[in-house]
Structure 1
């Protein structure tokens, strides 16, 4: 229901208009009339009418002066000026105040009803447009949230979708200055059966609270909550810790008070580029898993608490030297010594998996060089990197390493023309893996038909052409990753992948890890 107010210094005029409006426009709520400009200003502020019928000549403050003040605070009020013929010049001046229409005294019923009807119709039309616009904005907000969650999901799955990220960024209508990722882990509660965790409700609570201070999107993944946060303009990398610490304190208090749970919040370093988001995910996870006490932990702080000794690169070089000088048994002996002293827990198992991947990389490269093509690219000799991700304790990790070393020690036995064809084909693939190399041109380079090449690869290596090409490209990617100083996009391009989103997907499937996690750990 719309509200209307009448301002006129003649009470009888006000009452006449009130009665007419109540009869002709029962859908309008008629507010108590006022008799001067000062009272009109107060009534508009208090009752917020939608329409005002205002006489020009009133005591204390005339209608025009009152409207000038009202317009500074209320631009949507529909105004109808009530004026005598002799005051028409004043009425024209009033039009500059964006009045909707005017009525001439003495009042004619038909003219008045027509005028008020037009103003009411205009008001209804504007309200409809506002409603439609708000509905559209709500719908777009929902769509944008879905797109944001899609990107976060792709990030969590190790296959960042650049297109989703770009669409989400554009929907925020702000220049991209970078952002941070935050992981939220709930601490175990002895009375959890009495106070079960409603992760969906918790996600909604946290997303709404963080949304009061900045743009963010959240996602639940394996009983951990993840948020992609874009700080406001006044927040820079230098004051990020203070700003986020304040927000974290609010979140910790809110969840403890409303849900009865304690949380660990892990925050990544500032990421300026889409390609760094995978690394940010790894950082916030490491930070969130670095403590058994409630609080907020920033990645750089957590590094010291999670120190695991000699770096993966240093260990890799050390074991490689032992392998070259003392053979495989000496290398195994030193690795066993490492595990005998290792303290591997549920909290740091993830870091140890990354560490093993790191120090095994140069060993694998060196030993594969002496294997020959047939053994190096056979399914039997293929290293099962994803299996390492399932190793949660010291014994299973050591067993995985020893099994890999045993596989790399074996040699292929195939001889004859078949071996020559396969070696020619793989040599061609190794030379052209950065290009869009096809099976047809590879078969031609080997001097055989496409059908025969496909059969040979299946028969001798138990692999397809695409699987072998993926092996070549992934080995190159891991080598570049171990060397460092390359962005993810550079690694993708130098490994033969023009589509970085597809590269993320293949890398995750091949290694079982996000490239950002490994890259961040090695750096």
Structure 2
């Protein structure tokens, strides 16, 4: 219901306006009235009307002054000015307040109704635009959050990204100079979900950098930071920047929970391709943490070709994981043998712990791929290094064979099912998560399958379906371009036009005209 207020120093004028609105404007109601400017200001604050019909010439505070005061507290209220004086000066003063409607006394019924309807349409259109803007913002934020989550998840396994740091800079409207990783260890936390939530909230509120949280965690939370505060080349600059933040995080967490957690920190890099390396540095920093420490960090010397054993070790680890991921048993066993030789540990117990960590990582990677890997049972005590190695080789062979079988039997069929589902549901607001859930794959691995098997991203494939269908519909002149936009799954005709032009090389209108010309 549209709420109106009538302001005039003559009672008969107010009654006349109220009667016109009641008889001629269904859906509108005069909820308040006032006899002078001061009363109008006070009453408007209480009634909060959508439209005020305001007389200009009144004793004391006139209509123009009243409008100025009311707009300070009710900026969205609209005004229709009513006056017996047809002079330029009055009209100019009213226009300076942003008032567009001006009626002369005595006002004819048709003029009052027309003015109210014009303002009503303006209010409705503005509300529609605000709602559409809010919807688009929600959709953008939802998509951005999903992109950030998927980007962080894929960084864990060094998956090639469509967005580099420059493109993230454009998307987030900040000048990102480098990125680095942290891994936070929650093994001692009693309530891990609650701890995860607290730490995420703290980081969001206190870090100056953009944070990308990985959804893939059990006892550890990987976090990638994109920074516009660092050069990415000065080690001392980075330490003075990041360590106070980490120490405060650890202190506040211990203060809240009474529990000490540990954080590993990776080196900052200016390239997307090296973000996975920062993540592994953070992981290895955690491995070398001492019980008395709260934070450790590990840096490779960028200015020296010689690398520490730890840095070399996690490169071996990456090569081993790639072999497992590809289902290549011979390469996996070869890389495992090299990885084992690179381990510099004192004692069988420490080596057993490192092997446990390695196989936990392999198990997580398999789950990310959509392979339901059994929960890894930690290796316990062994009497010799050879006994440990025999057990590890047996476990590795079993895992790689499972990956190989899954890739050969299930992956191709699941990709086909995913594509069929997208062709059926293209008009809906499809997401990678929804399609992945439909075919029982992880979002990351479904995205990877599209890249490997089809040579395109999930979004590119979906866009191809939608644009192809739009081209079919354009052959039928019955459908308007706006209607086609909605039929193929887009909510914004302008966005649809940009996507179509990027894909086809011509705007929808140009394509339709050319298609009709060929006929």
- TM-score w.r.t. structure 2 length? 0.50
- TM-score w.r.t. structure 1 length? 0.49
Q: Which of 1 and 2 has higher RCO (CA within 8 Å, sep 6+)? A: 1
